[in-house]
Protein backbone atom coordinates (compact mmCIF):
# COMPACT_ATOMS: atom_id res chain seq x y z
CA UNK A 1 0.00 0.00 0.00
CA UNK A 2 2.70 2.41 1.10
CA UNK A 3 4.79 1.59 -1.93
CA UNK A 4 2.07 1.87 -4.53
CA UNK A 5 0.73 5.18 -3.36
CA UNK A 6 4.13 6.79 -3.18
CA UNK A 7 4.44 6.84 -6.93
CA UNK A 8 1.01 8.25 -7.58
CA UNK A 9 -0.08 11.71 -6.48
CA UNK A 10 -1.73 11.56 -3.05
CA UNK A 11 -4.34 14.07 -4.12
CA UNK A 12 -5.50 15.15 -7.55
CA UNK A 13 -8.14 17.82 -7.95
CA UNK A 14 -9.32 18.66 -11.46
CA UNK A 15 -11.38 21.68 -12.26
CA UNK A 16 -13.15 21.67 -8.93
CA UNK A 17 -15.71 24.28 -7.98
CA UNK A 18 -17.96 24.81 -5.00
CA UNK A 19 -21.19 26.75 -4.95
CA UNK A 20 -23.55 27.16 -2.03
CA UNK A 21 -27.03 28.47 -2.35
CA UNK A 22 -29.09 29.93 0.41
CA UNK A 23 -32.60 30.60 -0.80
CA UNK A 24 -32.45 32.25 -4.19
CA UNK A 25 -28.91 33.59 -4.11
CA UNK A 26 -26.09 31.29 -5.13
CA UNK A 27 -22.57 31.96 -3.94
CA UNK A 28 -19.45 30.66 -5.67
CA UNK A 29 -16.81 29.89 -3.05
CA UNK A 30 -14.34 28.01 -5.22
CA UNK A 31 -14.05 28.38 -8.97
CA UNK A 32 -12.26 26.01 -11.36
CA UNK A 33 -9.29 24.90 -9.29
CA UNK A 34 -6.61 22.37 -10.19
CA UNK A 35 -4.53 21.03 -7.33
CA UNK A 36 -2.13 18.13 -7.24
CA UNK A 37 -0.20 16.93 -4.21
CA UNK A 38 2.47 14.32 -4.63
CA UNK A 39 2.89 11.59 -2.02
CA UNK A 40 5.25 12.72 0.71
CA UNK A 41 5.00 16.34 -0.39
CA UNK A 42 3.96 19.16 1.94
CA UNK A 43 1.68 21.83 0.55
CA UNK A 44 0.69 25.13 2.14
CA UNK A 45 -2.53 26.90 1.16
CA UNK A 46 -2.47 30.61 1.99
CA UNK A 47 -4.82 33.47 1.27
CA UNK A 48 -6.83 36.16 2.98
CA UNK A 49 -9.69 35.39 5.27
CA UNK A 50 -12.77 34.27 3.38
CA UNK A 51 -10.83 33.31 0.28
CA UNK A 52 -12.02 29.71 0.52
CA UNK A 53 -9.05 27.93 2.12
CA UNK A 54 -11.01 25.89 4.61
CA UNK A 55 -13.58 25.02 1.98
CA UNK A 56 -10.86 23.68 -0.29
CA UNK A 57 -9.30 21.68 2.52
CA UNK A 58 -12.67 20.15 3.37
CA UNK A 59 -13.19 19.13 -0.24
CA UNK A 60 -9.70 17.65 -0.61
CA UNK A 61 -10.19 15.63 2.57
CA UNK A 62 -13.55 14.33 1.38
CA UNK A 63 -15.46 15.97 4.20
CA UNK A 64 -17.73 17.69 1.66
CA UNK A 65 -18.77 17.19 -1.94
CA UNK A 66 -17.62 19.28 -4.92
CA UNK A 67 -20.21 21.07 -7.02
CA UNK A 68 -18.17 20.45 -10.15
CA UNK A 69 -14.90 18.80 -11.15
CA UNK A 70 -13.32 15.67 -9.75
CA UNK A 71 -11.07 14.75 -6.84
CA UNK A 72 -8.91 11.65 -6.50
CA UNK A 73 -7.82 10.90 -2.98
CA UNK A 74 -5.07 8.30 -2.38
CA UNK A 75 -5.64 7.03 -5.89
CA UNK A 76 -9.43 6.72 -5.66
CA UNK A 77 -11.98 8.98 -7.27
CA UNK A 78 -14.42 10.56 -4.82
CA UNK A 79 -17.01 10.95 -7.56
CA UNK A 80 -20.03 8.80 -6.85
CA UNK A 81 -18.88 8.05 -3.32
CA UNK A 82 -21.28 8.80 -0.51
CA UNK A 83 -20.30 10.08 2.89
CA UNK A 84 -19.80 6.57 4.24
CA UNK A 85 -17.55 5.53 1.37
CA UNK A 86 -15.42 8.62 1.83
CA UNK A 87 -15.21 7.96 5.58
CA UNK A 88 -14.10 4.40 4.89
CA UNK A 89 -11.41 5.75 2.57
CA UNK A 90 -10.15 8.07 5.32
CA UNK A 91 -10.23 5.50 8.09
CA UNK A 92 -6.75 4.86 9.42
CA UNK A 93 -5.09 6.82 6.61
CA UNK A 94 -6.01 10.46 7.13
CA UNK A 95 -5.31 12.65 10.11
CA UNK A 96 -6.52 16.15 10.98
CA UNK A 97 -5.30 19.07 13.03
CA UNK A 98 -7.71 21.96 13.49
CA UNK A 99 -7.43 25.55 14.53
CA UNK A 100 -9.91 24.97 17.34
CA UNK A 101 -8.28 21.69 18.44
CA UNK A 102 -11.57 19.70 18.39
CA UNK A 103 -10.81 17.60 21.42
CA UNK A 104 -13.75 15.87 23.07
CA UNK A 105 -14.28 17.66 26.36
CA UNK A 106 -15.60 14.57 28.15
CA UNK A 107 -12.48 12.53 27.49
CA UNK A 108 -9.00 12.75 28.98
CA UNK A 109 -5.96 13.55 26.84
CA UNK A 110 -5.00 9.92 26.41
CA UNK A 111 -8.60 8.91 25.66
CA UNK A 112 -8.79 11.56 22.97
CA UNK A 113 -5.72 10.07 21.30
CA UNK A 114 -7.03 6.55 21.75
CA UNK A 115 -10.20 7.53 19.90
CA UNK A 116 -8.51 7.61 16.48
CA UNK A 117 -6.60 4.41 17.20
CA UNK A 118 -9.69 2.57 18.35
CA UNK A 119 -11.74 3.74 15.41
CA UNK A 120 -9.16 2.45 12.94
CA UNK A 121 -9.14 -0.84 14.82
CA UNK A 122 -5.53 -0.74 15.95
CA UNK A 123 -4.41 -2.89 18.87
CA UNK A 124 -2.79 -1.63 22.07
CA UNK A 125 -4.60 1.69 21.77
CA UNK A 126 -3.76 2.91 25.27
CA UNK A 127 -0.10 2.08 25.05
CA UNK A 128 0.31 3.68 21.65
CA UNK A 129 -1.66 6.73 22.68
CA UNK A 130 0.60 7.16 25.71
CA UNK A 131 3.63 6.89 23.50
CA UNK A 132 2.22 9.47 21.09
CA UNK A 133 1.57 11.89 23.96
CA UNK A 134 5.06 11.25 25.25
CA UNK A 135 6.50 12.17 21.88
CA UNK A 136 4.72 15.55 22.00
CA UNK A 137 6.04 16.12 25.53
CA UNK A 138 2.80 15.49 27.43
CA UNK A 139 3.70 12.24 29.21
CA UNK A 140 2.73 13.82 32.51
CA UNK A 141 -0.73 15.06 31.38
CA UNK A 142 -2.28 11.80 30.19
CA UNK A 143 -5.37 11.88 32.38
CA UNK A 144 -6.12 15.57 32.21
CA UNK A 145 -9.20 16.77 30.41
CA UNK A 146 -9.02 19.39 27.63
CA UNK A 147 -10.26 22.21 29.84
CA UNK A 148 -7.37 21.60 32.22
CA UNK A 149 -4.87 22.09 29.39
CA UNK A 150 -3.61 25.28 27.78
CA UNK A 151 -4.24 25.96 24.09
CA UNK A 152 -0.74 24.87 23.11
CA UNK A 153 -1.07 21.70 25.14
CA UNK A 154 -4.44 20.96 23.58
CA UNK A 155 -2.99 21.33 20.12
CA UNK A 156 -0.20 18.93 21.05
CA UNK A 157 -2.80 16.40 22.08
CA UNK A 158 -4.43 16.97 18.69
CA UNK A 159 -1.07 16.41 16.97
CA UNK A 160 -0.58 13.23 18.95
CA UNK A 161 -4.05 12.10 17.92
CA UNK A 162 -3.33 12.86 14.27
CA UNK A 163 0.03 11.10 14.14
CA UNK A 164 -0.78 8.16 16.40
CA UNK A 165 -2.40 6.31 13.51
CA UNK A 166 0.64 7.00 11.26
CA UNK A 167 -1.52 8.58 8.56
CA UNK A 168 -0.60 8.71 4.89
CA UNK A 169 -2.20 12.13 4.68
CA UNK A 170 -2.44 14.91 7.21
CA UNK A 171 -4.75 17.89 6.80
CA UNK A 172 -4.17 20.89 9.01
CA UNK A 173 -6.38 23.98 9.12
CA UNK A 174 -4.47 26.86 10.72
CA UNK A 175 -2.90 24.60 13.34
CA UNK A 176 -1.25 27.59 15.02
CA UNK A 177 -4.02 30.10 14.42
CA UNK A 178 -5.14 30.21 18.04
CA UNK A 179 -1.69 30.27 19.59
CA UNK A 180 0.90 32.87 20.48
CA UNK A 181 4.14 33.16 18.49
CA UNK A 182 6.32 31.17 20.80
CA UNK A 183 3.85 28.36 21.23
CA UNK A 184 3.03 28.34 17.56
CA UNK A 185 6.71 27.97 16.74
CA UNK A 186 7.02 24.97 18.97
CA UNK A 187 3.85 23.43 17.53
CA UNK A 188 4.99 23.93 13.94
CA UNK A 189 8.42 22.50 14.75
CA UNK A 190 6.71 19.50 16.24
CA UNK A 191 4.42 19.18 13.22
CA UNK A 192 7.21 19.20 10.70
CA UNK A 193 9.38 16.95 12.77
CA UNK A 194 6.64 14.33 13.01
CA UNK A 195 5.88 14.80 9.36
CA UNK A 196 9.47 14.03 8.46
CA UNK A 197 9.58 11.02 10.72
CA UNK A 198 6.42 9.48 9.33
CA UNK A 199 6.83 10.58 5.71
CA UNK A 200 3.25 11.83 5.72
CA UNK A 201 1.80 13.91 2.90
CA UNK A 202 0.81 17.25 4.43
CA UNK A 203 -1.80 19.75 3.29
CA UNK A 204 -1.91 22.77 5.53
CA UNK A 205 -3.98 25.94 5.49
CA UNK A 206 -2.28 28.87 7.19
CA UNK A 207 -2.06 32.61 7.51
CA UNK A 208 1.44 32.34 8.69
CA UNK A 209 3.95 33.08 5.85
CA UNK A 210 6.80 31.63 7.86
CA UNK A 211 4.96 28.41 8.47
CA UNK A 212 4.06 28.23 4.81
CA UNK A 213 7.72 28.72 3.98
CA UNK A 214 8.55 25.44 5.68
CA UNK A 215 6.43 23.59 3.14
CA UNK A 216 7.67 22.20 -0.14
CA UNK A 217 5.15 24.21 -2.08
CA UNK A 218 2.70 27.04 -1.50
CA UNK A 219 -0.67 27.79 -3.15
CA UNK A 220 -2.21 31.22 -2.82
CA UNK A 221 -5.96 31.47 -2.91
CA UNK A 222 -7.79 34.68 -3.65
CA UNK A 223 -11.59 34.91 -3.89
CA UNK A 224 -11.87 31.22 -4.63
CA UNK A 225 -9.25 31.18 -7.41
CA UNK A 226 -5.57 30.36 -7.52
CA UNK A 227 -3.47 33.49 -7.73
Partner 1 sequence: MNSARFAWLQLRREGLRGDLLLLVAAVAIAVAAAAAVSLFTDRVRAAMAAGGGEAIASDLRLELRDRLAPDRREAMQAAGLRVAETVEFASVGIQPGGENTALVSVKAVEPAYPLRGEVIISRDAEDSSGQTIGSGPPAGAVWVERRVLAELDLRLGDRLQLGESELEITARLIAEPDRGAGFLGLAPRVLMNLADVPATKLLQPGSRAEYNVLLAGEPDVVRSWRAETEPTLGRGESMESASEARPALQRALDRAEVFLDLSALIAVILAGIAIAMTAHQHALRRYDEIALIKSLGARRGFLGRMLAWQLVMLGSAGIVLGLSLGWTAQAVLSGIAARALSLALPGASPLSLWPALLTGAVILGGFAWPLLAAARNAPPLRVLQGSAAGDPATRALYPVAILSVVGLVAWQTGDLLLCLYVLGGGLLSAIVLWAAARLFLKGLGLLVDRALVPVGGWRQGVTALLRRPQQTSLLIVAFGIGLAVLFTLAIVRTDILASWEQSIDQDAPNRFLINIAPDQLDQVERYLSEQMNRSPELYPMIRGRLTQRNGEALPNDKVDREEAGELMRRELNLSWQAELKNDNRVVTGQWFTAEDHGRALVSIDESVAERLNVGLGDSLGFDVAGETFRAEISSIRHIDWDSLQANFYLIFPPGFLDDYPTTWITSIKVEPADEAALSTLIRRFPNISTLDIQVILRQLEQVIDRVSLAVEFVFLFTLMAGVLVLLAAIQTTRHERLREAAVMRALGARASLLRRAALAEFLGVGLLSALLATLCAQTLAVVLAVQLLDLDYQLRPLVWLLAIGLAAGSIATAGMLGIRGVLRQPALASLRD
Task: Give contact residues for Mg ion (rule: CB under 5 A).
Answer: 54
Q: Where does residue 167 fall: left (phi above 0), alpha (psi -120 to 50 degrees), or beta otherwise?
A: beta
Least distance (Å) from partner 1 to the CB of residue 108? 7
Q: What angle do CA 220, 74, 66 make, to 5 degrees?
A: 55
Q: Element (H or E) spanning 77, and its range? A: strand 76-77
Tell me how far apart the alpha carbons of residues 75 and 10 are, in angstroms, rounded to a whole number: 7
Instruction: Select the binding partner of residue 51 from ligand ATP, partner 1, Mg ion, none (C-beta < 5 to 8 A, by kind).
Output: ligand ATP
29 is a contact residue toward ligand ATP (CB under 6 A): yes
Q: Are 158 and 125 in contact (CB under 8 A)?
A: no
Residue 25 binds ligand ATP (CB under 6 A)? no
Number of helices and strands in the chain (H, E):
8, 10
**Of 43-51, 65-73, 85-93, 110-118, which part binds ligand ATP (CB under 6 A)?**
43-51
* Residue 54 vs 188, nearer CB to partner 1: 54
Stretch that binds ligand ATP, among 51-59, 102-110, 152-160, 161-169 (CB under 6 A): 51-59
Minimum gap (Å) between residue 58 Cβ and ligand ATP: 8
Q: Is the CB of 60 or the CB of 110 nearer to ligand ATP?
A: 60
The order of strands in the sheet holding 42-47 is: 94-97, 169-173, 201-205, 42-47, 217-222, 225-226
- Which is nearest to 29 in space by CA: 59, 4, 71? 59
Where do contacts with partner 1 occur on this chain (CB under 8 A)? 54, 57-58, 61, 63-64, 83-84, 87-94, 96, 98, 100, 102, 104-108, 111, 115-116, 118-121, 147, 173
**Contact of 37 with 9, CB cutoff 8 Å:** yes
Q: How far is the CB of 55 from Mg ion (least distance, A)?
A: 8
Task: State residue 105 phi and psi, 5-degree precision.
Answer: -70, -25
Among 9, 52, 62, 146, binds ligand ATP (CB under 6 A): 52
In our burial notation (b when 16+ CB lie closer than 10 A, e otherwise), range 82-101 reads eeeebeebbebbbbbbbbeb
> Least separation, in Å, of the C-beta of 87 and partner 1?
5
Tell which positions 114-143 bind ligand ATP, by CB under 6 A.
none
Q: Kindly tell me which residue out of 12, 42, 55, 108 binds ligand ATP, with binding defined by CB under 6 A.
A: 55
Query: What residues make contact with ligand ATP under the rule CB under 6 A?
Result: 20, 22, 27, 29, 47, 49-55
Amino acid sequence: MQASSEHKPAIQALNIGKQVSSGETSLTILDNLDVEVAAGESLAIVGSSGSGKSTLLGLLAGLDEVSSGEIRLLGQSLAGMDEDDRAALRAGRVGFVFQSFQLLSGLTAVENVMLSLELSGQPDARQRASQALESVGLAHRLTHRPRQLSGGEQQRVALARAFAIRPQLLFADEPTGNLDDKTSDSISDLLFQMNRETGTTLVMVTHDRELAGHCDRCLTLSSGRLA
